[in-house]
Amino acid sequence: MRFGSIIVIVALCSFTAYYIYEPIPEEIEERWKLMLTNSFFRSLSHLADLSELLGLKDYMGVMYFITLAEKVVPESDEHIEVTEETFDGVEVVLYQPKQTGGDTELSRAVIYLHGGGWCLGSSRMSPYDLLARTLVAELDAVVLSVEYRLAPAHHFPVPYEDVYRVVKHFLQKGVLAKYSVDPGRIAVSGDSAGGNLAAAVSQQLQKDPGQQVHLKAQALIYPVLQALDLNTPSYQQNQDMPILPRTLMVRFWSEYFTSDKALFRAMMANTHNNPESSSLLKFVNWSAFLPETYHRKYNYSAPAVVQGVGGEGVGMEGLAQSLADPRASPLLVPDSALRSLPKAYILTCEYDVLRDDGIMYVTRLRSAGVEVTHEHYDTGFHGGLMFTVWPTDFLIARRMTNNYIKWLEENL
């Protein structure tokens, strides 16, 4: 069934004042459409809670319906050759411009990592397929879309490691030559959790002494960048905003690490920091790294530090280390680890719990001397760039896509 018909049916079924009426700031464009879209997500989320409560299917299992409903089979067309391959054991979808008139010029390449909180999403969802095609058409680039494995079936570090393996495989001179890619013009990019993976991979590649081909750029679209403080001003301001309410982001974070619900409860209360992660809180100190306009209405207090997660003694092997791991939270590194990173594009939205993650990274990268282009959307909401397909197509998605591609055009 098409996603369009499903969303219309579900939205109609949930057409009650309760579901639809959610105060959405006046300045957001196409408010009614966003309320309707959000009513679909909220209905599904309530259904998922109910299903988990009744022991039918776990929460993420039900939410995964969004991914299934939008799945397409990426196909070649007149201008683009699409192939599904396996790079070092990980599935990828590869989009290549068809060479015209026998020219064998080398192309740029974009390695794209989809969003979905490490638990949902797929390269084969129609908005990602469409974005990949647009990148090929506008940039004449090869696009490598990575089908990394997902939580909760595969907790951290599996999704990250899948991406890292693909990137290492692709950045070999022989492989790049096979796809006619210019080794000097490769970017990694992703939205939301994909932005998290893109930032993490950029950092880890720099640390790899054997790495010969380097990334030229990283483009992070409303990225998730830290798990230590889930009460930044943007988490507080936007806790009930459409698409990604705070509860859902906290659920994504906890499910990335473990299926033990004690972590979810501790993260909701922001009492999940342990002695191991507490020494890193200075890297996510929003009173230091956010411009005054974003934090003046809020008083900073550092998150509580508790022995054992949330004082509930969640003694899961490795959880304390995971919380402190920069491969999960790229903000948790000293400036010295940021200095040699590729130039960055960072997109943030005002009405997004993750706004401050992105802005803090802008501040930190700039103070480490990295060239950063920061595009902040005053009327933007989380996930905006993906809403390009009818009936959930938004004007802001088009603006975001155009600006993002323009940056790649000029910087890659």
Ligand X SMILES: *[C@@H]1O[C@H](CO)[C@@H](O)[C@H](O)[C@H]1NC(C)=O
Strand partners, 93: 84, 145
Q: Which of 145, 189, 192, 202 is catalytic?
A: 192
> Considering the complex, what minimum distance in angstroms separates the CB of residue 39 from ligand X?
30
Give, for 43, the enclosing helix (H) or strand (E): helix 31-53
* 285 vs 373, beta carbon nearer ligand X: 285
At 205, the amino acid letter reads L
CA distance 191 to 198: 9
Measured CA to CA in angstroms, residue 95 lies from 89, 104, 142, 228, 279 at distances of 19, 16, 6, 36, 43
Q: Min. distance of Cβ 336 from ligand X in angstroms?
A: 18
Quote the least distance from Cβ 287 to ligand X, whole Å: 4
Measure the CA–CA gap between 258 and 133, rounded to whole angstroms: 35
Q: What is the DSSP letter of 14?
A: T
Residue (269 or 281) nearer to ligand X, CB: 281
| Residue 301 known to be catalytic | no
CB of 159 to ligand X, least distance (A): 29
**CB neighbours of residue 127 within 10 Å:** 24
Q: Which is nearer to ligand X, 96 or 237 (CB)?
A: 237
Binding site for ligand X (CB under 6 A): 281-282, 285, 287-288, 298-299, 302
**Which of 250-255's residues contact partners 24+ apart within 8 Å by CB, and which partners?**
251/59, 251/60, 251/117, 252/117, 252/118, 252/119, 252/193, 252/224, 253/117, 253/224, 253/227, 255/60, 255/117, 255/118, 255/119, 255/151, 255/152, 255/155
- State the burial class of residue 313 (Cβ atoms within 10 Å of its Cβ: 0-12, 13-18, 19+): exposed
Q: CB-wise, 106 or 302, nearer to ligand X?
A: 302
For residue 192, indicate whether it is catalytic.
yes
Cis peptide before 157 (omega within 30 of 0): yes
Triad 105, 86, 179: Cα angle to 5°: 5
Please, what is the minimum distance in Å from the beta carbon of residue 28 to ligand X? 23
CB of residue 17 vs ligand X: minimum separation in angstroms? 30
* Token reading at 304: 């509580």
Judge whether 80 and 95 are in contact, CB under 8 Å: yes
For ligand X, the closer CB: 65 or 300: 300
Active-site position among 114, 155, 272, 382: 382
DSSP state of 23: -
Active-site option among 191, 352, 356, 357: 352
> Beta 142-147 vs 90-97: how paired, if at all?
antiparallel
Nearer CB in complex with ligand X: 13/288: 288
Nearest to 89, CA basis, from 146, 29, 26, 157: 146
CA 277/CA 294 separation, integer angstroms? 25
Q: In terms of CB distance, is 48 or 338 closer to ligand X? A: 338
Q: How far is the CB of 350 from ligand X (least distance, A)?
A: 18
Q: How many other C-beta atoms can be found within 10 angstroms of the C-beta atom of residue 61?
A: 15
What amino acid positions are annotated as catalytic residues?
A: 192, 352, 382
